[in-house]
Amino acid sequence: MFDKTLAELAQGLKSGDFSSVELTQAYLNRIKAEDEKYNSYITVTEEQALAQAKAADEAIAAGTAGAFTGLPFAHKDIFCTQGVRTSCASKMLDNFISPYNATVVEKFNAAGGVMLGKTNMDEFAMGSSNESSFYGAAKNPWNTECVPGGSSGGSAAAVAAQLAPAATGTDTGGSIRQPAALCGITGLKPTYGRVSRFGMIAFASSLDQGGPMTKTAEDAAMMLNVMAGFDKHDSTSVDRAVPDYTADLNKPLDGLKIGLPKEFFMDDLDSEIAERTQAAIKEFEKLGATVKEVSLPNTALSIPAYYIIAPAEASSNLSRFDGVRYGYRCENPVDLEDLYKRSRGEGFGAEVKRRIMIGAYALSEGFYDAYYNKAQQIRRLIRDDFAKVLSEVDVIMGPTTPHPAFKIGEKTSDPVAMYMEDIFTISLNLAGLPGMSVPCGTVNGLPTGLQIIGDYFAEQKLLNVAHQFQLATDWHTQSPQGI
């Protein structure tokens, strides 16, 4: 049962092979038995999940069920969930019980989904390894000595370890695609504004975007059908019709034009990942695609630009956590200044503090023009690079990460080395483009991902391309040893 995709589970529910309550209980039992190895969940919502599953079974029996009714999944613990702790993996919000639902949560509730729990993550989504979590690092099911990636590492680990058939994630600089690649699953970052950010605790508001993390592209399409859409509560949400993302999955790829950026094959790229990427490209050529080398000349500038813009926005967004309104509050403050200093000093972890300080510095008088404005100018150059290339090709492809999963603790003392793990993913967030990662091989027993990039609102095309690749290969069906 646990190796089935969402699509297969939906068919099983429809044909009566099992009930949603039986399916949900099976996953809850598995989480209890196995998650101690992986630390992929922060909160398991057993009582709520079984109540939702019971309601789903009643809807199925009444003939009023939708495509997602009764299917279990997990939410990244960044989505506010009414009556459930929403911690953002931070001591600052360890005691926060959300009084309302994020729009994404409301959409899954309306679709009849069954939430198994809230998954582990880097604190406030700041990290590339899931090591900054207040609750301890999540572990990669392919090798528990390695990181699962971040910040959506708990979601990726839960799906890879078959502790959930699917999960939500968020992507600010690669935080869906990078952990998806490192854990051998499928992850999709939609176009900025395609999925509502209302109730998704903000890290960097102009970069954050929620999306699905699943076993297959078909499952990602099912999830995006639920998640996507305009939201009047989110001023950055785009008022644009939502297609059926499953409708075009089986379109042939004859005539598909693929761009291969030379900048993605840099000296620091693991040679075996480069080989797996090139082998994946050859599969697309067999499917009727043509390939041309293209250039994204400002790719190397994406890391420095991102690490000015994202911390600047984070320093503003996280100013609300001050020990006054909600969340962590220090004990026995002597005055208001002491309350602010100690609540924030004790409530935030090291990586969050680092980014707040970088952001505050970049926005300070005398440095705003030199750093923040310059980073925004570079952001425009990166966007223009993509626009030029995407006027010539249908999709851009390359490796998702420069290396396979690294050991827990290996890069914690070198933040710059950690930041460089997102070199291929960050530029999409700066441009607001959609992208996804699909499994395309293994390197020393660890998975690696192929990144597929499209034009704005081209998620349907990306899912079609990924699905056809998965019909022709079996990398997405492989599981960690012992699972």
Strands (E), 391-473: 395-399, 435-443, 446-453
Nearest 10 degrees: Cα torsion 433, 439, 443, 444: 130
Angle at 284 between CA 278 and CA 288, to 5 degrees: 140
Q: Is 464 within a domain?
A: no
Instruction: List the beta bridge partners of residue 357.
Output: none
**Same-domain check for residues 251 and 304:** no
Q: Which domain holds residue 335?
A: 300-376
Give the whole-angstrom CA distance, residue 435 versus residue 422: 13
One domain, residues 232 and 332 = no
17 domain residue, yes or no? yes
Q: How far is CA 230 from CA 59, 168, 428, in A?
A: 26, 18, 21
Residue 14 lies in a domain: yes
Question: How would you classify the pairing of strands 210-214 and 186-189?
Answer: antiparallel
Report the C-alpha gap between 460 and 456 in whole angstroms: 11
Q: What is the pLDDT along the chain (483 residues), one digit of tens a residue?
A: 899 999 999 999 999 999 999 999 999 999 999 999 999 999 999 999 999 999 999 999 999 999 999 999 999 999 999 999 999 999 999 999 999 999 999 999 999 999 999 999 999 999 999 999 999 999 999 999 999 999 999 999 999 999 999 999 999 999 999 999 999 999 999 999 999 999 999 999 999 999 999 999 999 999 999 999 999 999 999 999 999 999 999 999 999 999 999 999 988 899 999 999 999 999 999 999 999 999 999 999 999 999 999 999 999 999 999 999 899 999 999 999 999 999 999 999 999 999 999 999 999 988 888 899 999 999 999 999 999 999 999 999 999 999 999 999 999 888 888 988 999 999 999 999 999 999 999 999 999 999 999 999 999 999 999 999 999 999 999 999 988
Measured in degrees and rounded to the nearest 5, phi and psi for residue 348 equal -95, 145
Residue 174 and residue 230 in one domain: yes
Regarding whether 180 and 39 lie in a shared domain, the answer is yes
Q: Which of 330, 350, 376 is the last residue of a domain?
A: 376
Which of the residues are catalytic?
76, 151, 175
Total domain count for the chain? 2
Predicted pLDDT of residue 355: 96
User: What type of residue is 449?
Assistant: G
- Do 101 and 159 lie in one domain? The reply is yes
In a domain, 225, yes or no: yes
Give domain status of residue 94, yes or no: yes
For residue 283, with 0-12 CB atoms within 10 Å meaning exposed, 13-18 middle and 19 or more buried, which class applies?
middle
Asked if 309 and 232 sit in the same domain, the reply is no
Shared-domain flag, residues 188 and 321 = no
* Position 476 in a domain: no
User: Which structure tokens are listed for 480?
Assistant: 């960690």
Same domain, 78 and 150: yes
CATH number at residue 12: 3.90.1300.10
Tell me if 70 is assigned to some domain.
yes
Bridging pattern class, strands 186-189 and 166-170: unpaired
Q: In what order do the strands lie in the sheet with 395-399?
A: 41-44, 114-119, 72-76, 166-170, 210-214, 186-189, 435-443, 446-453, 395-399, 257-261, 290-294
**Three-class secondary structure of residue 411 per DSSP:** coil
Residues 216 and 329 in one domain: no
d(CA 73, CA 165): 6
- Final residue before a domain boundary, out of 361, 376, 391: 376
Note whether 33 and 104 are same-domain residues: yes
List the one residue out of 245, 247, 238, 244 whose CA is nearest residue 195.
Answer: 238
From 113, 117, 121, 119, select the one nearest 225 (Cα to Cα). Answer: 113
Q: Among 330, 345, 376, give the residue marking a domain's end.
A: 376
Residues 6+ apart with CB under 8 A from 143: 405, 445, 446, 480
Residues 15 and 115 in one domain: yes
Distance in angstroms (rounded) separating the CA atoms of residues 366 and 371: 9
Give the per-residue pLDDT at 323: 93
Same domain assignment for residues 311 and 245: no
> pTM of the predicted model, to two decimals?
0.97
Longest dimension (CA), the chain: 70
114 within domain boundaries? yes
* CA–CA distance, 78 with 153 (Å, rounded to integer): 12
Q: Would you state the structure tokens that stand for residue 102, as one six-digit string?
A: 């994020």
Question: How much is the pLDDT for 325?
Answer: 87
Phi, psi angle pair for 4, to nearest 5°: -75, 150
